[in-house]
Amino acid sequence: MIRIIPAVLVKTEKEFLEKLNKIKDLVKWAQIDIMDGKFVPEKTLNKPTLIKKFPKLNFEIHLMVKNPEKYISPWIKAGAKKIVFHIESAAKPEELIKKIKMSEAKAAIAINPETNLKKIIPLLGKVSGVMLMGNTPGKSGQKFQTKTLARAKRLKKIKPNLKLEIDVGVNEKTAPKIIKAGILNLAAGSFIFKNKNPERAIDILKKS
C-alpha cells in the first residue's frame, strides 16, 4: 500500500499548527522535520508537546541533528511512533536503535545521497526501515537525485522485505519512478503544502 507522508518543516508554532490542520484528516502519518542548524544549515521548531494536539495522527520524527540521542526521549514521551535518525550523525547507532525500541517506538535510519550504503548494511535487520534522502537534507523543495532509485534497488536486493521511504524531491513527476522502484512510503513537503489543495496533491501522489 502506498503511504504518502506529509513532511512538516517549520520554524514557528503558528506554522506548525497551520500545516497540521491542513492534513490531519487526510493521512494517517505525518513527518516532523527537526533541524538544529549544525547537522544542516537550517534550524526548525523543536517542540514535542505540540503533537499531542493531533491524537489521530501517527508521527515519525526525522532528526536532522547532531547528537540525536538528546532528542529521542522527549519526542517518544510526547507520543511519536517512529524516530528516524541519520547514520551520518550517530556515533553509536546500535545504542540509539536499542534506546528507541526499548521505548516501544519504531527505529529507522536515514542516509544522505553521498553516504556509502555500506554504513547501514549491518543495521538493516535491526531497524523498521530506511529513509533514503533524494537530495542533501536541509531545505524544502530540492530536486530529486535519480541515483537514489539505484540505491533503493541495491538495498532491496540485500533485504527484499526492507521498508524504504524516500524524502526530498517527491512530486508528481518523481513519484511514479519511486513507486515503480518498489518504494511505497513517500515523504512530501513542498508539493503538498505549496498546493492550494493539499488533498488533491496527496491524491496525485497516491495515484502515481
Residues labelled catalytic: 33, 167
> Using an 8 Å Cβ cutoff, are 174 and 144 in contact?
yes
- Nearest of 57, 41, 46, 37 to residue 10 by alpha carbon: 46
Torsion of CA 186, 191, 196, 200, to 10 degrees: -40
192 vs 4: CA distance, rounded Å: 10
Residue 169 carries which side chain, given as an amino acid letter?
Answer: G
Kindly write down the DSSP assignment for every residue of 79-105, as one continuous string: T-SEEEEEGGG-SSHHHHHHHHHHTT-
Task: Report residue 12 as a C-alpha cell.
Answer: 514557528
How would you classify the pairing of strands 29-35 and 3-8? parallel
Local structure of residue 184 (DSSP, 8 states): -
Residues 6+ apart with CB under 8 A from 119: 87, 111
Which of the 8 DSSP states describes residue 125? G
Q: Which residue's C-alpha cell is 511514479?
A: 176
